[in-house]
Amino acid sequence: MGTASGIIKALNSGIKHIATKRFTFRYPEQKLKFVGDGYQYDPNSGVGIAGYKGRHILFHDKCTGCQLCAIACEDIAEAIAMPKVEEEWKHNKKAIMPQIDYGKCVFCGLCVDACPFYALYMTNDYELSSFTKEALIYTPAQLQVKPKVDQDVEILIDEKGAKHG
Amino acid sequence: MSNQVHPKDKEILPGLQIEKVDDRIMTLNVGPQHPGSGHMRIILKIDGDYIVHTDPDPGYVHRGEEKMAEYRNYITNIPHLERPVIHDSCNILYPYCLGVEELLGLEVPERAKYLRVIAAELNRCVYIEYWLAIYGIFLGHSTMFMWPMGDRELCIDLLDKMTGARVTHAYFVPGGVRNDIPPNFEDVCLRQINYFEKRLKEYADIFYDNPILISRTKDTGILSREDAIKLGTTGSVLRASGVDFDIRKKEPYDVYEELDFQTNVLKEGDSYARSKIPWLDMFESCRIIRDALKKMPKSGSVRVKLKPKPKGGDTEVYRRVESGRGSLGMHIVSRGLPQPYRLKISVPSFRNLIAMPHLLTGEKLGNMPAVYWSLNYWPVEADR
């Protein structure tokens, strides 16, 4: 192929894309949609349920303070501590619950796999930035809160090309 | 007194020594902070515009992954072992999981094997697209930086749906995969992969048939078939020199022998051939994913239940897979403990780096980026 025809072919290929919609989207206004409500684990079958690995959610009515999540995290990120909580539960005599430091967490989800009581799951919340290191440490009370998510942008594919919408 | 070295002749740092050389020769450090060189340094000696001596200096991002693995059990090793190549994290965990399964005597469910193949091939596409984007911007082709970065999102989106993370998936475990795919994933995957393949074909017009690219990469850094074998290169570098070697065909692991694909081999052995092989590999990856989705069992278990801290016997195993850069192997020595006694990672990047002095010496300095990045080299992986 000649040099001129090759350059014209390359330019032509680029010009075709001027008319198509942009593949990027406006992030803070629009957010990408994920599958399900976050990564979960079923200890009975020993298999996880697909979902985004974001911030954790802790169910206080199920947590027994067994520390298995903290032990699972020990060799990975050492992000989980077990402080005392001022709550009284029959199943949690020691009254300790996980507290997660998101400055250390690597979001592998192996703590969720370790929990045998369906007490620790992950959510679709990934916006965890803060101005101080202390604010990254989520106490059991903060982990209990269900995150508000308004994620609705998906990849759409038609004849013209792919776009987010 | 004659043994004393004058302070001016002493070596201060490798590559920075003050030496009495011909005035024509200049030492040039490329990296380690240069955005193009990656986390490594190439010490070049140049005579005018020609490179007369090349000394690659890796090791800036050594993290001691092998030593770390000796202090963690077989499950907690997973998150840190995928850090060397976060874009190809499924493929670096693959040999580890295959090895540990052999140590512990685990039988992986059929569906999990297919899911692993799909995840590994998607991850290969993600890696190659990233590599291609950097190769494009190295050669001053900014469209080739934008397009692969955007199209890479299609595969990342699929992996995100499948594993729950955009990079560093921690999806493979000894005994299967962490979770099953979400409902109607097959349809979404098929649609996005078909579109992805359509986009890949468009790269030919703008990049691979582009006369500017051809004039910059054709006949630069030629590696002959004999030298490629002698230097021990692997992956796309070896296949671009005319050697038909792919672990997926030669030593099929999991379900690769049941899937329909071929290996791409080019005879030229120059930078153009080396940059073309990964692009052709992506078409094969799409073919494998489509075939795997068709042949995959529709339901079934995906993970074998493990004891909390499984112990291996008094043996050792070596398993290797074909990663995005070439053959990636792991040698695990077990002494009946819950953690490996020794873990050795044999990485393709380091093996391909050996070819660099051979290829760069004698080239023009302007050809350095075209030759360097065509080696499919990932500094973080080479340093472990």
Nearest CA distance, A64 vs chain B (angstrom) = 19
Q: Which residue reads 């995290």 in tokens?
A: A73
Indicate the helix (H) or strand (E) that contains B333: strand B327-333
Select from B194, B281, B187, B185 the least CA-distant residue to A162.
B194
CA distance A144 to chain B (A): 21
Could you list the residue range(s) of the whole structural domain that residue A81 is in? 36-147
Please give the domain boundaries of chain B with CATH numbers for all domains: 7-57 (no CATH), 65-383 (1.10.645.10)
A153 touches chain B (CB under 8 A): no
A79 vs B contacts (CB less than 8 Å): none
Tell me the CATH number at A96: 3.30.70.3270
| Beta-carbon separation of B164 and A76 below 8 A | no
Residue A143 lies in a domain: yes
Q: Which residues contact B123 (CB under 8 A, 6 or more apart)?
A: B87, B88, B89, B90, B91, B155, B159, B169, B324
- pTM here? 0.88
pLDDT the model gives residue B6: 52
B153 contact residues in A (CB cutoff 8 A): 23, 155
Nearest CA in chain A to B209: A6
Residue A98 forms part of a structural domain: yes
Residue in chain A nearest B143 by alpha carbon:
A14
Strands (E), A8-154: 40-42, 47-49, 56-58, 80-81, 99-101, 120-122, 137-138
| Closest CA in chain A for residue B339 | A75
Task: Kindly report whether the peptide bond that precedes residue B32 is cis, defined as omega within 30 degrees of 0.
Answer: yes
Chain B: closest CA distance from residue A58 (Å): 18
Tell me, rounded to whole angstroms, the distance of Cα B289 from its chain centroid: 19
**Measured between beta carbons, which residues in chain B are less than 8 angstroms from residue A162?**
154, 192, 195
Under an 8 A CB cutoff, do B206 and A113 touch?
no
Q: Which residues of B touch A107 (CB under 8 A)?
A: 165, 168
Q: How far is CA A23 from the centre of its chain?
A: 23
Of A7, A13, A155, the CB nearest to B211: A7
Which residues of chain B does A47 touch, with a Cβ-Cβ cutoff of 8 Å?
A: 178-180, 301-303
A6: which chain B residues are within 8 Å (Cβ-Cβ)?
A: 209-211, 214
Q: Do B76 and A72 touch (CB under 8 A)?
A: yes
Q: How distant is the Cα of A106 from the closest Cα of chain B, in angstroms?
A: 8
Cβ <8 Å between B157 and A107: no
pLDDT at residue number B1: 42
**Phi/psi of residue B263, nearest 5 degrees:** -100, 145
Range 164-193 of B in CB contact (< 8 A) with A? 164-165, 168, 170, 178-182, 191-192
Round to whole Å and give the CA distance between B161 and B155. Answer: 10
From chain B, pick out residues whose CB is under 8 angstroms from the CB of A52: 160, 164-165
Choose the closest CB to B179 out of A9, A49, A157. A49
Q: A12 at the B interface (CB within 8 A)? A: yes
Q: Is residue A153 part of a domain?
A: no
Q: Is the residue at A63 inside a domain?
A: yes
pLDDT, tens digit (0-9, with 9 covering 90-100), for B51-75 = 888 888 888 888 888 998 898 888 8
Q: Is B216 on the interface with A (CB under 8 A)?
A: no
The Cα–Cα gap between B86 and B312 comes to: 27
Which residues from chain A sit within 8 angstroms of residue B165, using beta carbons?
Answer: 52-53, 107
Cross-chain Cβ contact A76/B76 below 8 Å:
yes
Considering only the beta carbons, identify the residue of B165, B206, B212 that sits closest to A53.
Answer: B165
**Low-confidence residues of chain A: pLDDT under 70:** 1
Confidence (pLDDT) at B2? 45
CB spacing of B206 vs A10 below 8 angstroms: yes
User: Could you tell me if residue A69 is inside a domain?
Assistant: yes
Asked whether the beta carbons of B119 and B171 are under 8 A apart, the reply is yes
* Amino acid symbol at B9: D
Chain A segment 89-118 residues within 8 A of B by beta carbon are 106-110, 113
* Structural contact between residues B225 and B245, judged by C-beta atoms closer than 8 angstroms: no
Q: Do A113 and B178 touch (CB under 8 A)?
A: yes
Looking at the complex, does the CB of residue A128 fall below 8 Å from at least one CB of chain B?
no
Q: Does B143 touch chain A (CB under 8 A)?
A: yes
For chain A, what is the mean pLDDT? 86
Our CA-based measurement puts residue A103 at a distance from the nearest CA of chain B, in whole angstroms, of 16
Q: Which of A8, A37, A76, A115 to mutate to test the interface with B (most CBs of B within 10 A)?
A: A76
> What residues in chain B have per-residue pLDDT under 70?
1-22, 34-37
Distance (Å, rounded) from C-alpha B274 to C-alpha B201?
A: 18
Tell me which of A37, A108, A123, A154 to substitute to probe the interface with B (most B C-beta atoms closer than 10 Å): A108
Q: Is residue A30 exposed (0-12), middle (13-18) or buried (19+ Cβ within 10 Å)? A: middle
User: Is residue A158 domain-resident?
Assistant: no
CB contact under 8 A, A23 and B75: no
Number of structural domains chain A divides into: 1
